[in-house]
Chains A and B, each alone.
Chain A
């Protein structure tokens, strides 16, 4: 249960240390602005109620994934940079327990982001039958993305020699994954394949299918394959490699 001790400490640092509440406060301001715009556009009939819910849900998922990835990217390289890694590694705790503890704490940020988004979704989707399925789908999809990206962020953090490199690489990765979502819907088999290959783009597409188009959650699960794969491959890879790759680097003072 040593991972639980690490999780409890990381969780406390995130949520009581101030980082988590500040990020959630920023998210709530963002969601307030989006909800206001969506609600006013609804009145003008520019945006359907389902689309407004989908937009808010997508923002919550995207921001949740972003903060989870960034916090994970800081997890090991940050300890190394702050010279606290050696003390942690000197405890009789397995490397797996350390990374598992950090991963679960980072994923709590996504759950926090989702909790912040719930009142906004409820305000925008009142009376819409798809509200509850939208929330459940959003929670599942966001959790898959957060877990997968957190594992990737931790792997980057472990392999990076500096925190700057780790956070920069992670942000670049997230940007690369988000950029296609802002492009027009791809046409042709290859375009669709690429869309499904990108876990972020595919997950957001899946949300649109369920929330806006009103399809059942089983309608096209292939859009969930890539985010599921990232989570199912990322976490075991992290757990398998952790004992070998979590260590001090040459020249470390720590």
Chain B
């Protein structure tokens, strides 16, 4: 899928402004941004629910001017999708499979296979009203796959799910990209999810692209100084600080129960090795309770980018 200069205006307000990107089969693109960044609008443009004010996109070789043909090639799990409460899971999927042109026999086969894939085979004939939120999301994912799509869009798929449910849904999303070979666009606020499953990311703010590339590339665009929080037994903080005092490029700051270490780059731009820091503490026979690196995660880059004043 490829989008070039995609723009959506509502009167004087621009919801999506000149967004361009591409995503290939087997890749997972993370679409990030604060609330109101234009993520859902971008997805609705790409899924033909909205018409772009300018720009264009192609899905599996089909131009955006053919919305019906595009819809045949995409699968979508919309944000906060609703479900007919009195239908069973299999009835719901059967209906959507029929809407995609499958005959009764094929639709029944697809329904059965997809329900098994998302782990709902044993609840196929239960009313959706009795499904948990996680089960509904998995049913929504199954619905998005009834047409064996080339591109699948997920808009906040883990919203409101417990950690187990989140992990399950993310596992299914990875599987869709890896095993089915579909291109996946994942819009989410959960940045750890993106780091775990996405091959590339696109960060939006107020409709414009702030950063794009692989997770490492995007983190690299923000030169935040990495810091580390070292927790050792409180009576050993002074000793820990002492053991690190001679190490080059470290700025130490002690609090009641932690030692905050700023890994300042030296004159050659080289950032001190975190392994060496840990080794020095361990060599001093100080037990490490925890060691958390900050400034090296996507969430750090995201916050640094999105907290800047908009242009």
Contacts and interface: CB of A to CB of B under 8 A. Distances in A.
Pair from one complex: yes
A49 to B, nearest CB: 44
A89 B49 contact: yes
A83 B100 contact: no
Interface string B217-255: 000000000000000000000000000000000000000
B83 A91 contact: no
B89 interface: no
B80 A253 contact: yes
B44 to A, nearest CB: 7
B310 interface: no
B95 interface: yes
Given A94-B68, A247-B49, A87 B101 contact: no
B116 interface: no
A17 interface: yes
A242 B10 CA distance: 21
A2 B68 CA distance: 13
Nearest to B44: A248
Interface in B1-34: 10
A93 B10 contact: no
A9 B83 CA distance: 14
A90 B72 contact: no
B110 interface: no
Contacts of B180: none
Interface residues of A, number: 23
A127 interface: no
B80 A87 contact: no
Interface in A49-101: 82-84, 86-94
B78 interface: yes
B84 A90 contact: no
A17 B82 contact: no
B189 interface: no
A83 B71 contact: no
A242 to B, nearest CB: 14
Contacts of A254: 78, 80-82
A58 B211 CA distance: 68
A94 to B, nearest CB: 7
A93 B102 CA distance: 13
A123 B140 CA distance: 52
A2 to B, nearest CB: 6
A92 B100 contact: yes
Nearest to A98: B99
A83 B85 CA distance: 11
Interface string B51-92: 000000000000000001101101010111111101000000
B10 A250 contact: yes
B138 interface: no
Given A86-B78, A254-B78, A254-B80, A5 B49 contact: no
A90 B81 CA distance: 12
Nearest to A253: B80
B297 interface: no
B98 interface: yes
Which of B10, B68, B78, B95 neighbours the largest number of chain A CB atoms within 10 Å of its CB?
B78
Interface of A: 2, 5-6, 9, 13, 17, 82-84, 86-94, 247-248, 250, 253-254
Q: A-B pairs with the 8 shortest C-beta distances? A: A83-B82, A91-B99, A92-B71, A253-B80, A84-B82, A92-B72, A86-B78, A5-B98
Given A83-B82, A90-B47, 18 more contacts: A2-B101, A13-B86, A82-B82, A82-B84, A83-B80, A86-B49, A87-B78, A87-B81, A90-B49, A90-B71, A90-B74, A91-B96, A92-B72, A92-B100, A92-B101, A253-B79, A254-B80, A254-B81
